[in-house]
Amino acid sequence: MSDHVKSMLAGIDRRQFVVATLASGAVAVRPRLGFAQGAEPYRIGVLLPSTGTGANYSERPIKGLPLVAAEINQRGGFLGKHPIELIFRDDQTKPDVGAREARSMILNDKVKTIIGSWSSAVAMAVQEIVHEYKVLLLAATSNSSKIVNENYTPYAFLLGPNSQMQSSATVVAVARMIKEKGWKNYVTIGLDYEWGRDAQKVFVSELGQVSPETRLMREFWAKLGETDFTSYITAIMAMKPDFVFGAIAGKDNETFLQQAKPAGFFQRVAYPGVFLPVTELMQQRKTLPRGIIGLGRAPFFALMEYPLTRKYIALYQAKFGKDDWPDDFACMYFDSLYALEQIVTRTGSIETEAVRKAMTGATIETCRGNLAFRDCNNQLDCPSYLGAVVDTPDYPFPIFDPKSLIVVQGRDCWTPKTCDEVRKIQKPRA
């Protein structure tokens, strides 16, 4: 086991990250020489942070996307004749930098599609640019519901559950547990930024509808990048709620969990619905409190029935070894590349307008099964996965208990419910 873990750590080696990023240049260059004239390459910009907090969650997509591109290029690229070239850029998790890099890729590198980003604020800044230059944006990590609703553009597609869907899915699971365990009072702790505020608001209002007798005792807000949650943890425990809803993501989530456990937090209160992508399940394998209810967007271990999931794992592990797995983000970004291939094949053209029209409302094969984009806002009708964190003999890290796994379909939890209502909140664009 300890050897296993050691080799796993080595497996996600820094050099591979670097090599993969640099190799993307090679992926880009090689096919160009080998193909006949007139075979225009299809350039795709990958806009993810490789510095700062977001880098931890962008590592596997950055490492893995060249493998997917190479696999498609082996078949000659899109339509068998347009090899994919990937161009990687660091958005530094700053909206203004994201907008500049998007312009740079569109104007200098002539990309037809941009994949990314990590932060919703960056994605929304980039959305303005892709709309203007008529370039596709395939987003998966950044998941503010504003991307598909208020700020909708026909050029942006969201391939993961959005923030509102994620919170609604958590309500489904929590409502079940309220019935089982007789919970009465709860508090929320959220990160004080848009995603945290939004997730908390949706959770509180939807839980209020499903279970009006459950009382919200207090809201706590911590700042983004908080390193010491102790004061929050002790304050919450002093209030003795039955459960706590946490709207904390990324590294701050890891910090919170690492500080909550030795403070006896999980001995005192339940903590359902925490966002635990495979990245966290692997990194926090030793410390994650077993039994808490986590939420995932594309956890491969729950998706082994789907051929694409198995294909992604095979591709990824062939390069990075049997001890590393593609996380939710990698799987969703792989999906976006394959979705593009499927649509281009169906359309028989790489022209952006044709591809965009064909993708709108289309059903695509993904690692999460066959899923359709919603006609009115390009939100993929994809599930959220919730389950209790348990150990398993199959992997050297905990997974969601297959026996208690709750899969909440996109269409069952997205709001607004009808497309007419969606169109009403979409701001008109020039």
Report the site for another protein in 174-203 (rule: CB under 8 A). 192-194, 197
Nearer to another protein, 45 or 299 (CB): 45
Contact region for another protein (CB under 8 A) — 234-242, 321-329, 359-367, 406-414? 234-242
Contact region for another protein (CB under 8 A) — 103-111, 170-178, 202-210, 327-335? 103-111
The footprint of another protein on residues 283-302 (CB under 8 A) is 283-284, 286-287
The correct pick among 34, 80, 225, 348 for binding another protein (CB under 8 A) is 225
140: phi then psi, degrees, rounded to nearest 5: -145, -45
Q: What residues does 371 pair with on adjacent strands?
A: 364
The footprint of another protein on residues 79-98 (CB under 8 A) is 88-90, 93-96
The footprint of another protein on residues 306-335 (CB under 8 A) is none
Residues 6+ apart with CB under 8 A from 277: 57, 296, 297, 299, 327, 328, 329
Residue 158 Cα to chain centre, angstroms = 10
Q: What is the pattern of x (binds another protein, CB under 8 A) and - over residues 28-67?
A: ----------------------xxxxxxx-xx--------
> Is the distance from CB of 60 to CB of 11 less than 8 angstroms?
no
The correct pick among 128, 381, 391, 412 for binding another protein (CB under 8 A) is 128
The footprint of another protein on residues 337-366 (CB under 8 A) is none
Tokens linked to 77: 């690229």
If one asks whether residue 1 binds another protein (CB under 8 A), the answer comes out as no
Helix ranges, 151-244 (H): 163-181, 194-210, 230-239
Residue 41 Cα to chain centre, angstroms = 28
Q: Give 292's DSSP letter.
A: P
Q: How far is the CB of 80 from another protein (least distance, A)?
A: 30
Q: Count CB neighbours of 290 within 10 A.
A: 11
Give CA–CA dist 268/270, Å, rounded: 7
Contact region for another protein (CB under 8 A) — 14-22, 172-180, 401-409, 412-420? 14-22
Tokens 């694409």 locate to: 308
Q: How far is the CA of 155 from the CAs of 43, 136, 171, in angstroms?
A: 16, 5, 31
Contact region for another protein (CB under 8 A) — 11-19, 75-83, 302-310, 400-408? 11-19
Nearer to another protein, 114 or 173 (CB): 114
Tokens linked to 268: 């005192």
If one asks whether residue 121 binds another protein (CB under 8 A), the answer comes out as yes
Q: How far is the CB of 370 from another protein (least distance, A)?
A: 32
Give CA–CA dist 190/25, Å, rounded: 40
Tokens 């635990």 locate to: 276
Q: How far is the CB of 230 from another protein (least distance, A)?
A: 4
Q: How far is the CB of 369 from another protein (least distance, A)?
A: 30
Contact region for another protein (CB under 8 A) — 118-126, 154-162, 172-180, 289-297? 118-126
The footprint of another protein on residues 251-270 (CB under 8 A) is 251, 254-255, 258-259, 261-265, 267-268
* Buried/exposed code over 348-384 (b: 16+ C-beta within 10 A; e: otherwise): eebebeebbebbbebebebbbeebebbebbbbbbbbb
Nearer to another protein, 327 or 341 (CB): 327
